[in-house]
Amino acid sequence: MSTFTTKARLKNGLVEPFIKPPFGEPDEVVVTFVKYGEEDADEALFRQIEPQYRRIRREVFKERYPDLYQKYYGAAEKGSA
Amino acid sequence: MAQLKKAVLDTSVIIAGLLSSSGGSAKIIEACKNGTLQCAVSSSTKDEIGRNAEKLGSLVVEKFNALAASLHTIYPTAELVDAFTEFTDPDDTHLLASCKTWNAEYLISLNRKHLLKNQKAQTATHARIVSPGDLIQSVSL
């Protein structure tokens, strides 16, 4: 089984993912609605930079641990090629 | 004299602390610099901060360079990083492996999705995974 998580926008009651999964049409879609509650200033700041932070984290993981990258993300990478 | 607390810092805390001088992350960074907290980062975190800082501007790079001397660097093995994938997202496991390697008491992060309140990861590393605010309150930094 493959899963893919992405952020999405809620517009007029419709959920629109920002990017499509690398494996084509999914068999099932699960939506998580999040309400940020007692969030401090640092967490709000982090949320703004989080997409860049996650992208860079994945890049560094790939470079430092190439075998582990292949093990955990290789299939998804091939699927998106 | 009491032993200094040992804490591994996540990239999220360092970036937030470099960008804002008013939050809990900035206090953690200050505690690292003045020696009231013994802080370390993984080699991956160091790479990540460098790359994030380049995108966030020269002031952030300068602040990071000033902080870098106060941080220990941990080089967790690939085997240990792999072992912790059982507990969180593979991208984040270098942090857990670093806690184990360095016998850290705390992992400080802002990552609620994968790390904060992750009881299994805490048990496996023997480190408490806390936000900057939580640590400041619990050890009166």
Which A residues 6-65 touch B at CB under 8 Å? 40-43, 45-46, 49-50, 52-54, 56-61, 63-65
* pLDDT at residue A72, rounded to an integer: 93
Coil, helix or strand at residue A14: strand
Mean pLDDT of A52-64: 94
Cα separation, B112 vs B108, whole angstroms: 11
**How far apart, in Å, are the Cα atoms of A73 and each of A61, A69, B87, B131, B134?**
10, 5, 17, 28, 33
Question: pLDDT over 70 for what percent of chain A?
Answer: 86
> pTM of the prediction?
0.79
The secondary element (H helix, E strand) that includes residue B50 is helix B43-56
A75: pLDDT strictly greater than 80: no
pLDDT per residue as tens, chain B (141 positions)? 567 899 999 999 999 998 888 889 999 999 999 999 999 999 999 999 888 888 888 888 888 888 888 999 999 999 999 999 999 999 999 999 999 999 999 999 999 888 998 999 999 999 999 999 999 988 776
Question: How far is the alpha carbon of B56 from chain A, nearest alpha carbon, in Å?
Answer: 10
Torsion angle, alpha carbons of A39, A45, A46, A47, to 10: 70
The yes-or-no verdict on residue A78 having pLDDT over 70 is: no
Residue B92 touches chain A, beta carbons under 8 Å: yes
CB–CB of A23/A79 below 8 Å?
A: yes
What is the CATH T-level fold of the domain B6-139, as seen in this structure? Rossmann fold (3.40.50)
Q: Are B42 and B76 in contact (CB under 8 A)?
A: yes
Report pLDDT for B65. Answer: 86
pLDDT, residue A80, reads: 61
Cα separation, B109 vs B25, in Å, equals 9
- Please state the domain extents for chain A: 8-80
What does the alpha-carbon distance between residue A76 and residue A1 come to, in Å, rounded to a whole number? 11
CA distance B25 to chain A (A): 7
List chain A residues with CB under 8 Å of B43: 64
Q: Is B81 helix (H, G, I), strand (E, B) or coil?
A: helix
Q: Does the pLDDT value for residue A32 go beyond 90? A: no
**Alpha-carbon Rg of chain A, whole angstroms?**
16
Higher pLDDT, A22 or B41: B41
Amino acid (one-letter) located at A45: L
Q: What is the pLDDT of residue A18?
A: 79
